[in-house]
Amino acid sequence: MSKYMRLLRTVAFIALMAGPAAAQGMHFGYNGPWETPEQNIYRSARYDHRLQVSPGFRAYRMRKECNPIDFVPSLRQDCLASFDRYEPVTAAGY
């Protein structure tokens, strides 16, 4: 078997294995320009709901979004307050 045939087989194998891996990413998380407006609305509503009913998720998002704002303390406080203003905690469960 020539060197080029082995290279061609290797490239074909990698291409075949990369296909299913790339397809998996389309089902989870942000789908980039392939996400439809309906998918975006659904994901946004699910995110809002999780902020309202899951204390752990809410605390994680507050840390992730507000902790980097450390250069002006009042901006950080405004960021934290925005969670209560726009996504108040509810008693509803999943």
Work out the pLDDT band at 32, boundaries 50, 70, 90. Answer: low
Per the domain annotation, does 48 fall within a domain?
Answer: yes
Per the domain annotation, does 1 fall within a domain?
Answer: no
Residue 24 has pLDDT above 60, yes or no: no
Per the domain annotation, does 16 fall within a domain?
Answer: no
Per the domain annotation, does 21 fall within a domain?
Answer: no
Per the domain annotation, does 69 fall within a domain?
Answer: yes
Per the domain annotation, does 77 fall within a domain?
Answer: yes
Work out the pLDDT band at 30, boundaries 50, 70, 90. Answer: low
- Give DSSP secondary structure letters for 41-85: HHHHHHHHHHHHH-HHHHHHHHHHHHTT--SSHHHHHHHHHHHHH
pTM: 0.58
Per the domain annotation, does 29 fall within a domain?
Answer: no
3-state DSSP percent of the chain in helix, strand and coil, to 5: 75, 0, 25
Total tally of structural domains belonging to the chain: 1
Domain encompassing residue 52: 42-94
The string of pLDDT tens digits covering residues 74-94 is 999 999 999 999 888 887 654
Listed residue (93, 10, 6, 11) closest to 52, CA to CA: 93
Residue 14 has pLDDT above 80, yes or no: no
Task: Kindly tell me the burial class for residue 31, based on how many C-beta atoms sit within 10 Å of its own C-beta (0-12, 13-18, 19 or more).
Answer: middle
